[in-house]
Structures are given as C-alpha cells and as structure tokens.
Amino acid sequence: MKNALRIAFRLRIVLPAAALAAAFALIRPSPAPDPALLAALREEGSLGGRASIVRIELAARPASPRPIASGFDEAGAPSVSFDGRRAVFAGRRAAGEPSEVWEASVAGSAARQVTRGGECLDPCYLPDGRIAYARAAARNAWAAATLRSCLADGTGERQVTFGEAHDRSPAVLPDGRIAFRRSAVGGDGPGRVFAVSPDGTGAVLLCEAAPDASVVAGPWVVGSQILFAEGPRGEKLDGSCGAAPAGPRLVAVSAGDPRGGRRVLAGPEALSGAASGERFASVSGLPGGGLAASVLGPGGGSLRRFPGGAQDEVPGLAGHALAAERQRPLNLTSVVDEGNGEGTLLCVDVRASRFAQVAGAELGAIRKVRVLGEDGLELASAPVAPDGSFLVQVPADKPLRLELLGPGGVIAKDESGFWVRPNESRACIGCHEDPELSPENRVPLALGEAAAPAAAADRQGGVGPGGAGGAAVAERRRP
C-alpha cells in the first residue's frame, strides 16, 4: 500500500513532467536538417519515371543519394527555401506533359504539384514565401517566357516580367530583388542579367557578359555574389527543362557592385571537355565556403568544387542546389495597384544619355517624348521641359518604346521594351543613361512643382502645368 502510494505520488510529478516534455517537443520547431546537396538526377537508358531529385549528404562517404521526389520523366532546377527545409523543382511527369513546379520537403516527402497547366521552369522561393518561376509559351528552348510568382499552393499567380522575351532563372538577390536572365525569343542577341522587384516594378539591367559573349546560364546568387555562365554570342545550345544551355566560363560579380570586379572563376581551361560541349547547369555555395557547380557534358555530369576544382562524378546529374539554411533577404514592399491600369514615367533629364545624339543635344532641342506600344502605335506623349525633364502617364504592363522628338523629327528611339506596373512611378535619370549614375538633386521642371494647383493637376491626370520653366503637360491616349 505504501509503495503504491509512493508510486502514485511519483507519478503525480513524473506524468505532468512527461506530458510537458512531450508538449515542448511537439511545439518546438525541429532543427533544420544538416546541410546536404539536392541533385536532379537522370537515369540514362531506361524508359519512364527515370528522373528524380535526390538528397546527397555532404558528410557521408561514399555519397549515397536518397530520393526525395522520383517518378518524373524530367526533373531539374532544384531550389531550396531560406529556412533550408523545403525545395521546389521543375518536373515533367510524362514526356507529353508540360513541366510544372513541384515542392517537396528537403528531408524527403511526397512531392506536391504547385503550378498547373503551363510550361513552368526554374522555380525559386521568394523572401515572402511565394514561389517565382519562368512560364514559357511553348516547350521550346528559346520560346517566349515571362517570370511569374504564385503562393506556395499554386494560387494567386502574378506576372512579374512583361514583353516578348525569354526570361529565365530567377534568383533572389541580397537586396530582395529578383535577378534573372533575359534573352531575345529565338536566342538572337546576347543574354543579359536583369533585376526586378518581386512585384514587377523597377526592372533594370544588372550586368552583362564580356563584349564578345552572352549570358547563357544562371544567374545564381550565392551569398553576396552573382554568378553566371557566359558563352560565345549567338551560340544556341539545346536547353530543356532543368538543363539550361550553358557556356564554358563561370563568372562572378558582386551583388553590391555588379558591373565591377568581374571575376572568371572557371574558364575553358577549368573544364576538361569544354571543346566537347561541357557546360554549367547550376552553381551553389558549400557549407564551409566555396562553390559547387554542376557541369554537364556528353560523358555525364560532375560536381566541381571551387576554388580548387576538385571533381566528383555524379552519373545523370542535371543540376543541384545546397539544402541549407541561409539568410532571408527582406521582402520588398509594393505600391502596385492592379486596379489603376496606368503608371507614371518621370525622367529627370533626357540629355543624360549614352547616345551621342541625345547627350549632345542643345538645351531645349528635344521638345517632346512619344510613348509607343509594341505595335508602334502612340500610347501617350508629353512635352520635354527646358531642363530636359518629362513626366508622362503610360498604360501599365505593356512593353513600351520611347521616341524623343525635336523640331526636325525623331532624334532618338528607345527599343528596350521596358514596362511600368499599375500605380508605379518609374523614375529615370536620363534616356539610357550611365547605370552607375545617381541623380542630381534638383526639382524637375516637368513636375511644375512651384505653380501646380492641385485641382488643375487632377484634371490633367496628376501632371501639373509647368512652373517657371514652361509647361510640361502630358497627353494621354488610351490604346
């Protein structure tokens, strides 16, 4: 009896303690898995269900891949969330089906389809948990593709980039923007690296390949570095889902200074079979520092480590990512208002330009700016104020082209096809100005700040009549 009481008394202490411990264990988030590599593997020579995403423990020797998603006809471009727990990848279940974005746990779980009904490629996580990816118009290496983003369950798709281009490989920069590769549809012209906010605003050219070359794969962001592969301009390598065409040079630039300090990490001499078509498919960081690159070639895939160039043969390798926790960039806020339909374009001085005919124009010689659509129709126009500034409202989400007009006609044309998001106020220093220039601190006359009665400005769509320097009233024409 006494023993029974003693046991009961102990249980009164032990049981609640056990219950508390169990509750704590349940509530406490499990630690992030140890760093590992996620690799897209393709089993050569077999039919159906031959591609998978596997986890390779970095500490394990010999490496023993453990599948976390299998049964795909093609799978590639894995990307890991910032907390290192989840992964997205592009996968095609059967040969005739479109490529979609899939999500799986890095620790291994049933893969879940995220997107539906598209040729969705190159997914990556955004800082707010959304997933960015490229949606191609067709299953074709150089088909038109735009960047999109959606919620983790595949709903709420938003278009991020606009225009007739081949936009691929989104990757999140340390400042929260998305870096991506833009090429012309069909592969003509150089591929270049652009940056855009996740809401599609503020798209700008970030960096380019060497003058004779084109960015053909990447960009990849590792820490504060942007990496990309560059190859000869005009080269068209056959790319397919998860295995973008790549070139023989791996280049790194600083995310803070993407046009300076360009370093070639691996040139043709670093690739044993560059002449025989080896190429970079993906690049990631490694836990102790350094980089790992998936190099694909006719003889199979391998994982190269930089610096040093150590090489691990990985049969069937199609791409990889480091499965580890990394710092989440801050989300960028948005002023986009989808209900607006228009955006504003402010230029401080059109003469701040790399084009000689514009930069050399006399003060006041450029009198008007015309905004054209892709079809060449005029969408809006505005006078250029005597200080070279203009302010014009333009239709949102349409590729735009600008013409600068003088008394004798067109002085210069912009063919870049940039866009403005609804309610975005897009500001430029000049027309194709030096991208490493900061604006001069002055009030653009086009704002008509000194004498713009609010009511009058409202009547004119937010653009006030010119102040002391003259009028800068925009005309708007809806297409």
**Which segments within 173-297 are labelled E, that is strand?**
178-183, 192-196, 204-207, 213-222, 225-232, 249-254, 263-266, 279-285, 291-297
- Interface with another protein by CB under 8 A: which range of 40-48, 64-72, 161-169, 421-429? 421-429
DSSP three-state, residue 142: coil
Binding mask 337-356 for another protein (x = CB under 8 A): -------x-x-x--------
Among the listed residues 12, 440, 459, 477, the single contact to another protein using CB under 8 A: 440
Q: Which is nearer to another protein, 164 or 458 (CB)?
A: 458
Q: Does 223 bind another protein (CB under 8 A)?
A: no
Q: Which is nearer to another protein, 339 or 409 (CB)?
A: 339
Total residues in contact with another protein, by rule CB under 8 A: 51
Q: In angstroms, what CA-CA distances link 394 with 194, 307, 384, 432, 449? A: 22, 48, 15, 18, 20
Q: Which two tokens stand for residue 87?
A: 């992964």
The distance of closest approach from Cβ of residue 454 to another protein in the complex, given in angstroms and rounded to an integer, is: 6
Residues 229, 234, 238, 243: what is their CA dihedral angle, to the nearest 10 degrees?
A: 20
Cβ atoms 281, 243 nearer than 8 A: yes
Q: Which two tokens stand for residue 251?
A: 């280049």
Q: Which is nearer to another protein, 173 or 274 (CB)?
A: 173
Cβ atoms 142, 185 nearer than 8 A: yes
Q: Does 141 bind another protein (CB under 8 A)?
A: no
Q: Which is nearer to another protein, 173 or 178 (CB)?
A: 173
Q: Does 454 bind another protein (CB under 8 A)?
A: yes
Torsion angles phi and psi, residue 161, rounded to 5: -115, 155
Dihedral of alpha carbons 81, 223, 132, 244, sign: negative
Q: Which is nearer to another protein, 313 or 440 (CB)?
A: 440
Q: Does 260 bind another protein (CB under 8 A)?
A: yes
Nearby residues of 416 by Cβ (< 8 Å), 6 or more positions away: 401, 432
The distance of closest approach from Cβ of residue 345 to another protein in the complex, given in angstroms and rounded to an integer, is: 10
Cβ atoms 388, 368 nearer than 8 A: no
Among the listed residues 188, 315, 450, 479, the single contact to another protein using CB under 8 A: 450
**Which segments within 93-144 are labelled E, that is strand?**
100-105, 112-113, 119-125, 131-136
Q: Which is nearer to another protein, 188 or 440 (CB)?
A: 440
Residues facing residue 91 across a β-bridge: 75, 100
Among the listed residues 116, 442, 459, 477, the single contact to another protein using CB under 8 A: 442
Nearby residues of 43 by Cβ (< 8 Å), 6 or more positions away: 50, 51, 52, 316
- Interface with another protein by CB under 8 A: which range of 1-9, 148-156, 400-408, 445-453? 445-453
Q: Which is nearer to another protein, 56 or 447 (CB)?
A: 447
The distance of closest approach from Cβ of residue 8 to another protein in the complex, given in angstroms and rounded to an integer, is: 34
Q: Does 429 bind another protein (CB under 8 A)?
A: yes
Q: Which is nearer to another protein, 156 or 453 (CB)?
A: 453
The order of strands in the sheet holding 425-428 is 390-395, 342-347, 425-428
Among the listed residues 204, 264, 310, 377, the single contact to another protein using CB under 8 A: 204
Among the listed residues 84, 170, 219, 258, the single contact to another protein using CB under 8 A: 258
Binding mask 383-402 for another protein (x = CB under 8 A): --------x-----------
The distance of closest approach from Cβ of residue 233 to another protein in the complex, given in angstroms and rounded to an integer, is: 25
Q: Which parts of this chain interact with another protein (CB under 8 A)?
A: 127-128, 173, 175-176, 202, 204, 206, 254-261, 330-335, 344, 346, 348, 391, 425-427, 429, 435-444, 447-454, 457, 462, 464
